Amino acid sequence: MNESQFMTKLNEALLENQRIFKLNSAVLHKEQTLVIVFIVDAHTYDEKLDDGLKEKVENIVLQILPKTFKYEIRYKKTVTEPKYITKAILDFVYNEYPSIYSFVQNSNIDVTIEGDTVKVTLFAESYIYKFCLNAGLAEKLEENLTRNFMEDVALNIVETANKTQIDIITEAPPASEGIKLISVSVSEHIYGIVGKKPRYICEMKETEAENVTLCGALSGLKARKYKEKEGFFYTFSINDTTSSIDAKFFPRNKKAIACGEALKEGDILVMEGTLKFDKFSNGISMMVNKLARCTIDYDSIDTRPKYKTERERYINIHPFPYKNEEQKTLFASDRSKEYGIFKGKSFVVFDLETTGVTNTDQITEIGAVKIVDGEMTEIFHTLVNPQCSLSQDIIKLTGITDEMLADAPLFEDVAHDFYKFTRGAVLVAHNAPFDMSFIVRQGRAAGYNFDNSVADTLVLAKQTLKMKSYKLQNVCKELGVSLEGAHRAMNDTLATANIFKRLLIMSLDT
């Protein structure tokens, strides 16, 4: 029975809303165990793949396939996004064609998702293009991607002239970080020849994978028996400073046994092997098939996040000028002492609406106003699709509905614009830790580090005013600032900007 027939029979036995699986692999392991791996879209995985459905799939598989084997069924989440597809391409090339990895990493890779099809174009310079053509790389990559993502993948490799920069898109995204590698120098090949640079353990320890190279300091070395007639195996851990991972080495001959006996605590090793789920440690372990002693260039290890940088232009959300006659009189008198607070400084006062107050809730609206030299100059405003339904309490509080957010951009599509709007400015909010927690968390997830200095009008109010409650509405009332339509980001932002200016001036007189 081929894969297509197997999936047809499986789907025929499932209800329509249960047909969420795609066959990733079916590999016969030792002891006649057939390991079947299905991929499931991440959203569907969390929503539909419960214990009941897993049990149903297992029963169907037992009915479809012969009773010759034992079966183990595993499930993997998959997310169809350009960055994950690009990473999968680099992973494949690194494992299968390491000699051209650096060239492919620096090539332009265009990913377009159209319904149930992913179109990938890899632009390769002439000398790499010829290698790709001869190696059948396009066909192999296409097959690999189709296996690992729910959609069908159409991959095309386009030849470009050598050493020519191609400027296709004005607002090109930042270059891919690629695969992080560690520089090592092999001093002694213990068993087999290790031929590739090792990867960061922290980036590999959560996923099963073949032909992986890792390095690190050995600890916890133990020899364990697994069957009297078959001998023993070694277990240990290695740590490369990014993380640690358990490893197992099964000697299959006298040379391998001698190699295992030569290992000792503290050895610095580089190893090749397979990463797989180990039921004994209840996690991913490396099954070692090659290992060597080495020295590690620890300066080559950089675990600092690589955040995106500011783009030249706004892409989706463009700020617009702020016009208000009231602010023209704010500094009408020659009070240089007061004016000096704002002179040469930029502030961005902002407010968010969210789906809730926990660290798993999402932003639904951003309102911000920029203050330069004491004058409000620009406004930034957008609704944000949180990709979830709002509670009735939130709808009642903010007036924002699911219908209003249905066609709004995702946060990752406005993050770069808000990042650009806030560069070089102090961020200001009322109860700033709350709003900053959302901006920092979702910003970093989108690749942007909002590392601005922060001012809090709640703290300023407590230092300047004597009140029982320092809620925004109460502070506005105390200072005579209008606040209509509270709990909408832009209304709250403009009110916060006005009390911020007044509180700063008042603080000089205290």
CA distance 363 to 390: 11
CA distance 6 to 155: 26
Entry field: residues in the chain? 510
202: buried, middle or exposed (CB in 10 Å: 19+, 13-18, 0-12)?
A: middle
Helices assigned H by DSSP within 14-50: 42-48
416 is catalytic: no
CA distances to 188, 218, 268, 269, 285 from 263, in Å = 12, 9, 10, 10, 18
Q: Find how far residue 505's CA is from the centre of its chain.
A: 43
DSSP per-residue codes, 113-166: EETTEEEEEEEEEHHHHHHHHHHTHHHHHHHHHHHHSSSEEEEEEEEE-TT---
User: Residue 283: CA atoms inside 13 Å, Cβ hemisphere, count?
Assistant: 11
Catalytic residue among 29, 189, 381, 487: 487
Residue for token digits 């991972």? 245
Tokens of 395: 């709808």
DSSP per-residue codes, 359-411: TT--EEEEEEEEEETTEEEEEEEEE-B-SSPPPHHHHHHH---HHHHTTSPBH
Any idea which residues carry the catalytic annotation? 487
